[in-house]
Amino acid sequence: MPDRPGTEPMYDDDPTDPAHSPVDDQGRTPVGGEEGEGWLYLPFDRDDATGEHTITIVREEDGEEVRFTLPSFVEQGDELGEITRLVIRARLRWRELKGLGA
């Protein structure tokens, strides 16, 4: 909706508009990538004393949660995504080795 009659917004896809955000109404965000399919990030926790980030991901299919901690210097989204997909692969491999299935 324009601010004034006769004007249009500068951008049609406002990135602050919840309809255009990848974050769902529970604060979860898709991990992305082939290995991340079906996994969601929960809101991150940050330790103010150390700057470390505790990351929790959940598999949508069955609610399985995996939690890991990253040092404060891991801040870039692409780095976080790579590490998260590595953790998912390791978790799936571990479950297969333990005979629990994926």
pLDDT in tens, 64-79: 999 999 999 998 989 9
* 4 residue type, one letter: R
More confidently predicted of 16 and 44:
44
Q: Are 46 and 52 in contact (CB under 8 A)?
A: yes
Average pLDDT, the chain: 84
Which residues, 6 or more positions from 21, have their beta carbon under 8 angstroms from its beta carbon?
A: 15
Which residues, 6 or more positions from 48, have their beta carbon under 8 angstroms from its beta carbon?
A: none
pTM score above 0.85: no
Kindly state the greatest CA–CA separation across the chain. Answer: 65
pLDDT range class, residue 22, cuts 50, 70, 90: confident
Q: What is the pLDDT of residue 82?
A: 95
Decide the pairing of beta strands 39-41 and 45-46. Answer: unpaired
Residue 48 CB burial class (10 angstroms; 0-12, 13-18, ≥19): exposed
Q: Are 91 and 66 in contact (CB under 8 A)?
A: yes
